[in-house]
Amino acid sequence: MSVTEGVTMLPPAALKLRREVREFLAGYAQDWTTFDRAHSWAGVDREFSRAVGKRGWIGMTWPAPWGAGRSAFERFVLQEEMLAAGAPVGLHWVADRQSGPLILKVGTLEQQQRYLPGIASGDISFCIGMSEPNAGSDLASLESRADRDTGGWRLNGTKLWTTNAQYCQVMIGLFRTQGPAREMRQGGLTQFLIELDCPGIEVRPIADLNGESHFNEVVFNDVFVPDERVLGTEGQGWEQVTSELALERSGSERFLSAFPLVAAAAAKFAEMPEARIESADLATLGALIAETAVLRSLSLMVAGKLERDEDPSYLAVITKDLGAELEQRTAPAVRSLFDMPAADLRKAIEHTTRAAPTFSLRGGAREILRGITARSLGVR
Amino acid sequence: MSISDILLEQVVRLHADRQNRRRDETEECDPVLWAKAEELGLPLAMCPEAAGGFELKWSELFDVLAHSASCGEPAPLGDTLVANALLCAAGQAPAQGPVFLSLPSGFAGREPGLNFPADARVLTFNGAAIALASPAGDADRAIAARPPQEDQLILAGALLRVVQIAGALQGALDLSVRYAQERSQFGRPLSKFQAVQHMLAQLASEAVATAAAARMACARMDDGDGSLAVAVAKLRAGRAVEKGAMLAHQIHGAIGITLEYPLARLSRNMWRWSEDFGGQRHWAVAVGRAGLARGAWETVIAASDPIGASDNG
């Protein structure tokens, strides 16, 4: 029974912050439709990101001078309030969650000075260059190369499924600095800070089945990157990426992506006279709310581990696997509550239905996560 | 070492000693184990010191209760602990000997002769107060409105079942992992098949989610207001039973359904416990009502915010 642990109390500062975030969001929320909210952290709004940065809410856990050194629980509360409200956080989400912390951990002082202030102000967005046409879940088979050149490196290859690359200024890309893939596998990989306006980079948005373009293909054609843009240690890319992925899997975005639908449905029912509400529908809503609450408890345990510098990966992987499953059940469950939902809710349900397949793909496919859990159980 | 750590250590040893004996698998109270539990003072663990107890809280007893359930709850330790706590809280003397929790019919409880021995003593609500009774004298009674004492019994009973389900799922997981490693087919252990690994991972996820929900509910109950957290946890535990029991049996193949294999007792207990003190529909409607009254997100926070953090402005 030792996997879960006693419940940690939220610090008073986190409760105060929740009120501040709600006041802040109230100034924007009236303009967001249910359809807007259903975009959750896929929503993109530079002005909004800058306003969040202005409040000191991007990189808030980073130490001075980059951040305010606030606790993991404060960040947890900030993030969940943003997601529950369906705020368009897409442009600062990735850098706040993983790129910034990675630069803090393994970056040079020059790199920190160059990027962290822009991230914290909401001006600089980061994307993650890992997947490739022939390296998805099997990331170790990636083939994009970085070859030595005078004073730096030449990058060639293609990154695929790069979220929001068309809006980002910088990619942290994983490239092979020793090859070939079939011999080196996890060895010989290096991370680079790549500024996407370099000559030789082409970003091609990929239309998805929602008619939107969140994913991109990013092609590198002899792109020169100077030595000082190597992130961390040459050849240690795999280890760095692994610690980055733990951050990618631990947050409340892994179970709240479809929550704006639940909130909207509950609000609609609250307007109805009680006699008209069937108990089966109350039960459906209750089950969705209860499962969300339990995932939040799990996620808080992960935040507690992060705050204490413990390894959260086992709990994080389970939270993400269960969270994706709940997110994927949400749109049909909410749809079942109405003969015909109001137009805005109907549009939001349709959007979430079409986005749902990605919930169990991004940040580690379901099968990969279950393999990691099986390894923790000692059967792999 | 805290008193709850000491108790846990002794409870683990106690169950290990009795693990391999031959017994009637439908037996509800192992007399030897019960006698030793009484020597340790376990039945009074939640009672005040004045009544001879340790005044332990739910959170402090989580591991003890879950462990006993993970071993199949060979004696009604959890039931008696909670019954005695409720009796003490009502100003009555704790019971002598094992007690089973029950409720008047009309609300999901346990049926004498089916869920426990016909001659057992039960803690129930007699219309005016909680009381010890023999099931034979327990009249069929419809309840209009429930008085506070009965609500307490329902809430405490539901929370006990949640903690026990968390334990039983962990027990089922441990058995499943071991079986998958020992049993070979097609020339390799079951645990080497990816399909089996993924079932084990899903079972582990259900066990972990239930344990997290149970711990949260324990903390909230200790803090004085457990009703919403218990509702959420009972609901989640019930869902985990639906999925978890099937997964454990699928991993085990036919051996799992034999009465003598320990999984049988675990799954029978889990299925029964998910019915006790309100089934899925009862608690889902309760959480749904809360969601309409407070808003969905407020309800999520209210059910899962750590203790002392109820001030959400």
Low pLDDT (below 50) residues in chain B: 105-109, 112-113, 136-145, 309-313
Q: What is the pLDDT of residue A247?
A: 77
Give the gap in angstroms from C-alpha B203 to the nearest C-alpha of chain A: 10
List pLDDT tens digits, range A331-340: 999 999 999 9
- Residue B194 CB: number of other CB atoms within 10 A? 12
What is d(CA A225, CA B276) in angstroms, rounded to the nearest whole number?
65
Q: Is residue B55 part of a domain?
A: yes
Q: Which of A10, A78, A279, A294 to mutate to test the interface with B (most CBs of B within 10 A)?
A: A294
Q: How far is CA B206 from the centre of its chain?
A: 15
Q: Are residues B35 and B182 in the same domain?
A: no
Q: In whole angstroms, how far apart are CA A131 and each of A91, A276, A366?
A: 20, 50, 16
Q: How many angstroms away from the CA of B197 is the closest CA of chain A?
A: 6
Q: How far apart are the C-alpha atoms of A34 and A54, rounded to whole Å?
A: 26
Residue spans of the domains in chain A: they are 12-124, 128-236, 249-376
Give pLDDT, residue B231.
Answer: 97
Looking at the fold, whether B158 and B294 belong to one and the same domain comes out as yes
The reply to whether omega before A65 is within 30° of 0 (cis) is yes
Of the candidates B66, B201, B215, the beta carbon closest to that of A6 is on: B215
Interface residue A207 vs chain B (CB under 8 A): no
Closest alpha carbon within chain B to A14: B309
* Closest C-alpha among A89, A96, A93 to residue A115: A96
| pLDDT (0 to 100) of residue A257 | 94
Are B155 and B300 part of one and the same domain?
Answer: yes
Cβ atoms of B204 and B180 within 8 Å: the answer is no
CATH classification (class only), A12-124: mainly alpha
Q: Report percent pLDDT > 70 for chain A.
A: 98
Say what the pLDDT of residue A240 is.
Answer: 93
Residue range of the domain that includes B66: 3-137
Last residue of a domain, one of B137, B167, B183: B137
Cβ within 8 Å, pair A263-B296? yes
With respect to residue B281, please indicate whether it lies within any of the assigned structural domains.
yes
Above 70 in pLDDT, residue A105? Answer: yes
Tens digits of residue pLDDT in A117-139: 999 999 999 999 999 999 998 99
CATH placement of domain A249-376: 1.20.140.10
Pairwise CA distance, residues B108 & A335, whole Å: 31
* B50, B168: one domain: no
Q: Above 0.90 for ipTM, yes or no?
A: yes
Say whether both B183 and B43 belong to one domain. no
Looking at the structure, tell me whether residues B177 and B288 fall in a common domain: yes
- Which pLDDT band holds residue A280 (cuts at 50, 70, 90)? very high
Confirm whether A12-124 and A128-236 share one CATH topology. no
Is position B312 within any domain? no
Pair of tokens at residue A305: 């581990």
Nearest to B170 by CA among B200, B127, B149, B195: B200
Residues B254 and B217 in one domain: yes
B173, B207 in Cβ contact below 8 A?
yes
Roughly what angle, to the nearest 10 degrees, separates helices B280-294 and B227-252? 140
Partner residue opposite B213 with nearest CB, options A14, A279, A297: A297
Is B300 within 8 Å of A83 (Cβ atoms)? no
B143 within domain boundaries? no
Mean pLDDT of chain A, nearest integer: 94
CATH number at residue B188: 1.20.140.10
Neighbours of B279 (CB within 10 A): 14
Which of A379, A244, A251, A362 is CA-nearest to residue A315?
A251
Please indicate whether, in this complex, the C-beta atoms of B283 and A286 are within 8 angstroms of each other: yes
**Same domain for B185 and B292:** yes
Is the residue at B310 inside a domain?
no
- Residue B123 and residue B220 in one domain: no
Q: What is the pLDDT of residues B274-291, one digit of tens each?
A: 988 888 999 999 999 999
**Percent of the residues in chain A that have a pLDDT greater than 90, as a whole number:** 84
End of a domain among B85, B103, B137?
B137
- Is residue B37 domain-shared with residue B172, that is, in the same domain? no
As a whole number of Å, the end-to-end CA separation of chain B is: 39
**Of the residues B137, B160, B183, the one at which a domain ends:** B137
Q: Which residues of A touch B209 (CB under 8 A)?
A: 294-295, 298, 318, 322
Q: Known catalytic residue: A278?
A: no
Instruction: Please give the tally of structural domains in chain B.
Output: 2
Task: Find the CATH number of the domain harbouring B93.
Answer: 1.10.540
What's the topology of domain A128-236?
Butyryl-CoA Dehydrogenase, subunit A; domain 2 (2.40.110)
- Same domain, yes or no, for B48 and B13? yes
From the list A84, A301, A374, the residue facing B212 with the nearest CB is: A301
Strands A215-226 and A152-160, how do they pair? antiparallel
In chain B, what residues touch A307 (CB-CB under 8 Å)? none
What's the average model confidence in pLDDT over A156-184? Answer: 94
pLDDT confidence of A1, banded at 50, 70, 90? very low
Give residue B20's pLDDT.
74
Q: Which of A248, A291, A307, A327 is catalytic?
A: A248
Contacts 24+ apart (CB under 8 A), A76-80: A76/A14, A76/A252, A76/A299, A76/A300, A76/A303, A77/A10, A77/A14, A77/A15, A77/A17, A77/A18, A77/A21, A78/A17, A78/A21, A79/A251, A79/A252, A79/A253, A80/A252, A80/A256, A80/A296
Predicted pLDDT of residue A6 = 63
Residue B296 sits in the same domain as residue B184: yes
Q: What pLDDT is attached to residue A244?
A: 81
Mutate to test the interface with A, among B169, B297, B310 (most CBs of A within 10 A): B297
Q: For B125, phi and psi rounded to 5 degrees? A: -110, 120
pLDDT in tens, A282-308: 999 999 999 999 999 999 998 888 888
Selecting from A8, A262, A376 the residue whose C-beta is nearest the C-beta of B306 gives A8
Q: How many CB atoms lie within 10 A of CB B114?
A: 8
pLDDT at residue A307, rounded to an integer: 80
